[in-house]
Amino acid sequence: QSCTQKYIVKNYFYYYLFKFSAALGEEIFYITFLPFTYWNIDHSVSRRMIIVWSIVMYIGQVCKDILKWPRPLSPPVVKLEMRTNAEYGMPSTHAMAATAISFSFFIATMNQYKYPFELGLAAAFVFSTLVCLSRIYTGMHTVLDVIGGALISAALLVLLYPVWDTIDHLLLTSPFCPLFSIVVPLILCYNYPKLDYYSPTRGDTTTILGAAAGATVGFWLNNQYAAPAYTSKSLQPGFPLVTSTMVFVLARFFVGMLIVLLTRWVMKSVVLGTLGYRYKFPIRDLEARRRLEVEVPYKFVTYSSVGFTATVIVPLLHELLGLM
């Protein structure tokens, strides 16, 4: 698995299209699109997307390590990625995430914003299809992995849709929400299925659940103690297209991302430094950072801080700077 096949790119359009599409199912997309939705579109849409995304991704990651279906053999395929090569293949969590995010966004916005139903459905289908095809093109999944991931995600969406308003209401109003949002994900992370060798699935799952936990606590805190931000007075029905509005949208996004990335860097350094002191290992020791007692608290605390910052600290800063 450590060997890299040499390859020649003959069609740069497909190469860059699918490399970009593959990135739409990774952290760089989650950490930009989900906060952007919260800051610039609608709180309720963002909350529902995060609920669906975290549940779908946890189930997908666990299924991988329970089923233990191998990824495509190389050769005959050429693998354009190596980081996730240590993971199992079935189901494709890229396909699951793309299906969950695109269609939950479509479902949550179709009754709140004025746009053609067919256009929204087509956009969700194109987005999820591009991500699915990218996993085949990059050699990371078989067709069956991708179809399985998309179908599992679709089935979970069908099951969650009737109750996501109820879940959302409980997460906003229940006094037990902060405790539940932290304790349950931590239990799931510490009891993640064990493998005979290291796989990044546990760390990625902890990252996702940590971010969702921090965001959920932020949602609850805002609902309890702060006036709702980014209401209809700052955004007119329909997606913002006016130039002056776009300036505020971009300003909120870039200021927010600066704070989010700074939070991630600071918390990562602090938590790793603390754990390194506690367990007596240098911060750059990759093997030590993969141990259960290090990886779970390190990633959970770091990304729960990111989720909390994105939903509480950044909106306060936006209000302070007059960007609301």
Annotated catalytic, 43?
no
pTM of the predicted model as reported, rounded to 2 decimal places: 0.82
Residue 25: strand, helix, or coil: coil
pLDDT score of 188: 92
pLDDT score of 43: 84
- 260 contacts 309 by C-beta, under 8 angstroms: yes
Annotated catalytic, 141?
yes
**What angle do the packed helices 292-308 and 177-190 form, to 10 degrees?**
150
d(CA 174, CA 171): 6
Q: Which helix (H) or strand (E) holds 152?
A: helix 143-160
Task: Say how many C-beta atoms besides its own lie within 10 A of residue 150's C-beta.
Answer: 22
pLDDT score of 194: 83
pLDDT score of 212: 92
d(CA 207, CA 168): 21
From the list 43, 141, 169, 318, the catalytic residue is 141
Residue 129: strand, helix, or coil: helix
pLDDT score of 81: 72
Q: What is the CA radius of gyration of the chain?
A: 20
Task: Say how many C-beta atoms besides its own lie within 10 A of residue 107's C-beta.
Answer: 19
Which phi and psi angles does 296 have, rounded to 5°?
Answer: -65, -55
Structure tokens at 53: 């995304």
Cα distances (angstroms) measured from residue 202 to each of 90, 161, 225, 308: 15, 27, 34, 21
Q: Domain coordinates of the chain in residue numbers?
A: 12-321
List of the chain residues with pLDDT < 50: 1-3, 228-241
